């Protein structure tokens, strides 16, 4: 099976879906001539032409709205935000238009659109370019929110997102574009709303998504070798709808859980996971669930401060030991 | 601001049916809105309810100049646009009443009327948000290479929001078949345009984007028809957008919750504007041209009265949506 980057897996998904359905088009800043700020759209302008790979001015609110209108009349827009930080300028279109038009119209008018781009803390980009905003969007009924962690998942989930028919917020990990993984050559899709057990284990469950999956896997290796604890790593993959069944099944097995995310603690994705688990698996829990989140501060620039603000393997290991009552 | 010069359109007797049709639509909108105000006062209609009384010529003339397969997008003052487009008065009134038989199944309300079958694509209630959405429909038209048009109606207060400028730039840059119709009723809620805009000759805004523009008398239904017909031709044949400023006036408060006059405008100003009433103007022109006499007008009004009364009765008798509807239409299956 070929090993490719997360970036190229997304590129394959876009190319294949654009071949499959002439209604699919890609629109955003630098997606065409420049080949994508992160090169996700490399080669697509040459292959599909400027009506299907559309360079825009820096006008997030405007081109997000253009995507919504095109979707309302039957196109399948993929709107690229250069980063999700800039999508905040367009949040009215995502939340007040895309997410609500099907409902407000009494089911008459679907909005089949994908808003995608990189998100999550990066490296020394400072407070405005380095943050995880997925819980903002996961809060909103009418949206589906996807955050893949591996090249395989990125490709299969983006293809499903484009075909889904609902407005999708697709958050790519900015730090994941160069990561590599096996991706089969043939056609495949991954259903939205399905979590994936990335590593099996019997002693505790680590719940994570996007970049934090790599953090959890690293922590799990160390927990195994240094503390003889077998951690199961559950990658949420989709944050709305949340695959509660897979979470509950894992916690029923391990009886202990730590939720890891890059976002801030208050109202974060982990807060929802904890809520679901305390209701659905209360009797199975042998310890309170702990959360490892980004520090509750705007992201600092300084390298040392930045490292301290991100949820690294050390903090996951510390939390895992606590839920396993392995203090000290 | 000076009112656009009004040159009475010369009526052609052969187009009598067309003129009378426009008159009937304007009377229908007026009577519908009056009955909506009464129903609101009785608590049959809830929330925000923005009436169109005074502005009838804009939607009526503009939509008459468009084709049935063109797309329409509006702000939240949109009962008229749906009615003129052909959504039955029953379905519009029932939506205001929140009933299952409403054109959005009771889930949208006054501000979110939709009628997909007739290309009436809402009913959007964040000021300016539907301007890029309309351009998106125009982008789809261009992409599919059909000769449809996307028309977008918004108030003059929307021209100061970023979405307006971002959209006009892209529409001109890409040559999108869109018509941006600014209904300048002079007040954004209680703020006069002159108090909110550095440049209040709205058509001039198009210069920034090298876009065609026209100013029209929004109290003259035939002038509105003609200006939109020219813009539609420009969109269909030349694939170019147009910004139209329709100078009009609303007789009612911003919404049913707001005063008709008071701190922000005088009663005298309101009365003076009523002398330009769009319905009176067209009725007078028709009478003068011997195309509709008093009896004919009375008959027309009577048939409108029956239609609106039927809509109110239908809405009152219609069922509420089932509670199970709460969770439907959030996602498409």
- List CB contacts (< 8 A) between B328 and chain A: 107
pLDDT above 60 (res A224): yes
Helix axes A151-164, A6-20, angle to 10 degrees: 30
pLDDT above 50 (res A66): yes
Q: What ipTM did this prediction achieve? A: 0.96
Share of chain A above pLDDT 90, in %: 99
d(CA B137, CA A74): 9
| Mean pLDDT over the full length of chain A | 97
Q: Could you tell me which of A160, A146, A151 has the C-alpha nearest to residue A189?
A: A160
Structure token digits, residue B161: 């929001």
Q: Could you tell me which of A273, A306, A274 has the C-alpha nearest to residue A127?
A: A306
d(CA A177, CA A297): 25
In chain A, CATH 3.40.50.920 sits at 196-323
Per-residue pLDDT, B9: 55
Question: What are the residue ranges of helices labelled H in B146-238?
Answer: 162-174, 221-238
Q: CB distance B163–A65 less than 8 Å?
A: yes
d(CA A247, CA A275): 12
Q: How confident is the model at residue B8 (pLDDT cuts 50, 70, 90)?
A: low
Judge if pTM exceeds 0.95: yes
Per-residue pLDDT, A328: 59
Per-residue pLDDT, B148: 98
- Residue B181: Cβ within 10 Å count: 26
A to B CB pairs, distance under 8 Å: 149
pLDDT above 60 (res B105): yes
Per-residue pLDDT, A327: 74
Question: pLDDT tens, A252-290?
Answer: 999 999 999 999 999 999 999 999 999 999 999 999 999
- Residue A74: Cβ within 10 Å count: 12
d(CA B321, CA A13): 41
Of A59, A66, A142, the CB nearest to B136: A66
d(CA A69, CA A83): 22
In chain A, CATH 3.40.50.970 sits at 3-182
pLDDT above 50 (res B4): no
> Per-domain residue ranges for chain B?
15-311
- The mean pLDDT value for B282-310 works out to 97
Written out in words, the top-level CATH class of the domain with range A3-182 is alpha beta
* C-alpha angle A110-A114-A118 in degrees, rounded to nearest 5: 155
Per-residue pLDDT, A95: 98
How close B139 gets to chain A, by Cα (Å)?
7
What are the C-alpha distances in Å from A250 to residues A204, A233, A234, A258, B51?
8, 9, 8, 12, 56
Sign, CA dihedral A251-A256-A262-A265, equals positive
- List CB contacts (< 8 A) between A105 and chain B: 104, 107-108, 112, 114, 116, 122-123, 329
What are the C-alpha distances in Å from B158 to residues B74, B169, B175, B209?
12, 15, 22, 17
Per-residue pLDDT, B10: 79
Question: pLDDT tens, B190-244?
Answer: 999 999 999 989 999 999 999 999 999 999 999 999 999 999 999 999 999 999 9
pLDDT above 80 (res B1): no
Q: CB distance A61–B132 less than 8 Å?
A: yes
Written out in words, the top-level CATH class of the domain with range A196-323 is alpha beta
Per-residue pLDDT, B2: 40
Is the CATH number 3.40.50.970 carried by domain B15-311?
yes
Of B112, B132, B135, the CB nearest to A104: B112
């Amino acid at each position: 099976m070929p090993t490719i980057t997360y970036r190229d897996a997304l590129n394959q998904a876009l190319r294949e879906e654009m071949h499959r359905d002439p209604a699919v088009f890609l629109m955003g800043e630098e997606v065409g001539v420049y080949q994508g700020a992160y090169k996700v759209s490399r080669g697509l302008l040459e292959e599909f032409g400027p009506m299907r790979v559309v360079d825009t001015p820096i006008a997030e609110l405007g081109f997000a709205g253009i995507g919504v209108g095109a979707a309302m009349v039957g196109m399948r827009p993929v709107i690229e935000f250069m980063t999700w930080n800039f999508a905040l300028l367009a949040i009215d279109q995502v939340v007040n238009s895309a997410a609500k038009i099907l409902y407000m119209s009494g089911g008459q008018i679907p909005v089949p659109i994908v808003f995608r781009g990189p998100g999550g803390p990066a490296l020394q980009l400072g407070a405005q370019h380095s943050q995880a905003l997925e819980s903002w969007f996961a809060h909103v009924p009418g949206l589906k929110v996807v955050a893949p962690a591996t090249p395989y998942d990125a490709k299969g989930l983006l293809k499903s997102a484009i075909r889904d028919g609902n407005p999708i917020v697709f958050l790519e990990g900015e730090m994941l574009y160069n990561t590599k993984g096996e991706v089969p050559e043939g056609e495949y899709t991954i259903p939205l709303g399905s979590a994936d057990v990335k590593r099996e284990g019997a002693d505790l469950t680590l719940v994570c998504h996007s970049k934090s999956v790599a953090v959890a896997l690293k922590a799990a290796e160390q927990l195994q070798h240094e503390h003889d604890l077998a951690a199961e790593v559950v990658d949420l993959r989709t944050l709305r709808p949340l695959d509660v069944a897979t979470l509950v099944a894992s916690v029923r097995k391990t009886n202990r859980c730590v939720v890891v995310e890059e976002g801030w603690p208050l109202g974060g994705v982990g807060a929802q996971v904890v809520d679901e688990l305390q209701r659905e698996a209360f009797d199975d829990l042998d310890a309170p669930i702990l959360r490892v989140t980004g520090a509750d501060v705007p992201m600092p620039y300084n390298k040392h401060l930045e490292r301290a603000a991100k949820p690294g393997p050390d903090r996951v290991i510390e939390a895992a030991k606590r839920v396993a009552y392995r203090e000290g | 601001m000076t009112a656009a010069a009004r040159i009475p359109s010369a009526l052609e007797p052969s187009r009598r049916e067309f003129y009378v049709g426009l008159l009937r639509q304007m009377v229908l909108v007026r009577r519908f809105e009056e009955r909506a105000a009464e129903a609101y006062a009785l608590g049959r209609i809830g929330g925000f309810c923005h009436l169109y009384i005074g502005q009838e010529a804009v939607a009526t003339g503009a939509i008459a100049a468009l084709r049935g397969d063109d797309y329409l997008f509006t702000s939240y003052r949109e009962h008229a646009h749906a009615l003129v487009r052909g959504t039955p008065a029953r379905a519009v009134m029932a939506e205001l009443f929140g009933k299952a038989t409403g054109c959005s199944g009771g889930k949208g309300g006054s501000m979110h009327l939709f009628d997909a079958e007739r290309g009436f694509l809402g009913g959007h209630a964040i000021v300016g948000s539907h301007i890029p959405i309309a351009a998106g429909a125009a982008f789809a038209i261009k992409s599919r290479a059909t000769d449809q048009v996307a028309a977008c109606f918004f108030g003059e207060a929307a021209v100061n929001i970023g979405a307006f400028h971002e959209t006009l730039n892209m529409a001109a840059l890409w040559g999108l078949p869109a018509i941006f119709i600014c209904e300048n009723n002079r007040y954004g809620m209680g703020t006069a345009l002159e108090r909110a805009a550095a440049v209040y000759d709205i058509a001039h805004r198009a210069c920034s984007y090298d876009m065609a523009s026209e100013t029209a008398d929004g109290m003259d239904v035939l002038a509105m028809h003609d200006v939109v017909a020219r813009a539609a031709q420009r969109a269909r044949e030349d694939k170019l957008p147009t910004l139209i400023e329709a100078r009009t006036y609303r007789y009612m408060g911003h919404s049913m919750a707001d005063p008709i006059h008071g701190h922000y405008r005088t009663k005298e100003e309101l009365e003076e504007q009523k002398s330009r009433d769009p319905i009176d103007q067209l009725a007078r022109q028709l009478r003068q041209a011997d195309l509709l006499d008093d009896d004919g007008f009375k008959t027309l009004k009577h048939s409108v009265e029956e239609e609106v009364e039927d809509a109110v009765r239908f809405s009152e008798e219609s069922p509420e949506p089932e509670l199970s509807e709460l969770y439907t239409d959030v996602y498409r299956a």
